[in-house]
């Protein structure tokens, strides 16, 4: 059952695939590192420069105070975004390792069952 109540096209309720491949996770993490993080930093620096110029230009006016407040809010939001990007990057890089560990543990469990069944003549 899907939350929106519409069944999947194949009738199973899922896409038929478990997840992305380790290579896809690595590529996504690399995109975050080589494109999103540096481009976000550049955009932030450009916006900060422009805003600081505007704040100085309106010095003594209420607009200057308002722009400064907006700039401070922007900086906090960018800090949160950069933290989120870093977290997602780390999660993507760590997910493949966790899946491999889980697969190995599951395989070990089945091997133990197989060994026990052979010992008991099953």
Residue 8 inside a domain? The answer is no
- Please provide residue 83's backbone torsions phi and psi, each rounded to the nearest 5 degrees: -65, -40
Residue 72 inside a domain? The answer is yes
Residue 81 inside a domain? The answer is yes
Residue 74 inside a domain? The answer is yes
Q: How confident is the model at residue 1 (pLDDT cuts 50, 70, 90)?
A: very low
Q: Which residue has the higher pLDDT, 17 or 69?
A: 69
How high is the pLDDT of residue 109?
81
Residue 77 inside a domain? The answer is yes
Going from the C-alpha of 18 to that of each of 15, 25, 90, 99, the distances in angstroms are: 8, 13, 20, 11
Residue 4 inside a domain? The answer is no
Domain count, the chain: 1
| Residue that is written with structure tokens 């890089």 in the block | 93
Q: Write out the residue range of the structural domain in which residue 40 sits.
A: 36-119
Separation of alpha carbons 57 and 48, rounded Å: 14
How high is the pLDDT of residue 103?
74
Global pTM value: 0.64
How high is the pLDDT of residue 13?
52
Q: How confident is the model at residue 46 (pLDDT cuts 50, 70, 90)?
A: very high
Residue 73 inside a domain? The answer is yes
């Amino acid at each position: 059952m899907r939350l929106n109540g519409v069944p999947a096209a194949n009738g199973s309720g899922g896409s038929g695939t478990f997840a992305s491949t380790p290579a896809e996770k690595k590529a996504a993490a690399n995109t975050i590192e080589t494109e999103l993080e540096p481009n976000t930093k550049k955009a932030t620096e450009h916006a900060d420069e422009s805003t600081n110029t505007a704040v100085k230009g309106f010095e003594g006016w209420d607009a200057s105070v308002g722009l400064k407040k907006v700039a401070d809010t922007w900086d906090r939001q960018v800090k949160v975004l950069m933290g989120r990007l870093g977290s997602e990057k780390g999660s993507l890089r760590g997910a493949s390792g966790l899946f491999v560990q889980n697969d190995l543990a599951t395989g070990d469990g089945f091997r133990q069952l197989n060994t026990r069944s052979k010992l008991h003549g099953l």
